[in-house]
């Protein structure tokens, strides 16, 4: 009986340590990125390539190095199930992009409104690359690190997906507040982000490959930016 009690104690302690690391890392990123969004504003390409690499990506690698885990395979950065991950990620990205634009179509009373950055092939290509970079750093944290840790402790894919997508959506809240959008628009954006998070969580749990949520996120972000 004592051995069984000790086993339960060690198991509970391990789960608590995983929650502590995961939520501690999330809190660090949320506070740091939230403060940045509230206090500063740099060009988008600098924010997404450099600042997100530092705020979202670097802490993940630091924590993994300290816990002595192998980062690449644990985070889903592998060639395993790559083909499946690519076509599922592209499919989900197109589907969510279509749903988002359907909402915009209804909101603009039967018309699509293009962004004013100029719809040229070079501009769209540049934004797609930027969207891929953005998606990589965000999905590295949420689908690579947090999701893969929480699923160990929760043993429920749906609970893991809901919690991860909720955390994913809330990290964008400071940017939405600063943008001074109407409350209804902020709520709509959060719902879209939660939907994206749930879809990406399911993709990651099925494929175990980070390419799937990265592609879905990037394609969704590109369509959202082109049509506003």
In order along its 228 residues, the chain shows pLDDT tens digits of 454 444 444 455 567 778 888 999 999 999 999 999 888 889 988 999 999 999 999 999 998 888 766 678 889 999 999 999 999 999 999 888 877 676 666 655 555 555 555 566 677 778 889 999 999 999 999 999 999 999 988 878 999 999 999 999 999 999 888 888 888 888 888 998 999 999 999 999 999 999 999 999 999 888 777 655
Residue 121 sits in which domain range? Answer: 2-226
Q: Provide the domain count of the chain.
A: 1
**CA dihedral of residues 3, 4, 9, 11 (deg, nearest 10):** 110
Task: Retrieve residue 84's tokens.
Answer: 């499946």
| 166 Cβ contact partners less than 8 Å away, ≥ 6 residues apart | 194, 197
Check residue 78 and report its DSSP letter: S
Residue appearing with tokens 């939230």: 34
User: What is the pTM (predicted TM-score) of this model?
Assistant: 0.88
């Amino acid at each position: 009986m004592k051995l069984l009690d000790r086993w339960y104690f060690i198991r509970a302690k391990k789960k608590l340590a995983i929650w502590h690391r995961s939520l501690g890392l999330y809190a660090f990123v949320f506070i740091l990125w939230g403060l940045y969004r509230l206090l500063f504003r740099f060009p988008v390409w600098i924010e997404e390539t450099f600042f997100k690499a530092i705020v979202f990506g670097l802490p993940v690698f630091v924590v993994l190095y300290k816990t002595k885990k192998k980062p690449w395979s644990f985070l889903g950065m592998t060639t395993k199930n790559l083909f499946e991950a690519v076509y599922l990620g592209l499919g989900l990205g197109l589907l969510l992009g279509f749903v988002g634009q359907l909402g915009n179509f209804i909101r603009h009373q039967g018309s699509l409104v293009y962004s004013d950055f100029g719809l040229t092939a070079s501009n769209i290509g540049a934004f797609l690359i930027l969207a891929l970079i953005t998606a990589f750093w965000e999905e590295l944290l949420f689908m690579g690190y947090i999701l893969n840790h929480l699923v160990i402790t929760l043993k429920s894919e749906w609970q893991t997906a809901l919690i991860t997508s909720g955390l994913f959506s809330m990290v964008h809240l400071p940017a939405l507040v600063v943008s001074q959008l109407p409350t209804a628009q902020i709520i709509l954006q959060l719902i879209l982000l939660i939907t994206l998070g749930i879809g990406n969580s399911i993709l990651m749990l099925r494929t175990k490959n980070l390419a799937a949520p990265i592609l879905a996120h990037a394609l969704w972000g590109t369509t959202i930016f082109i049509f506003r």
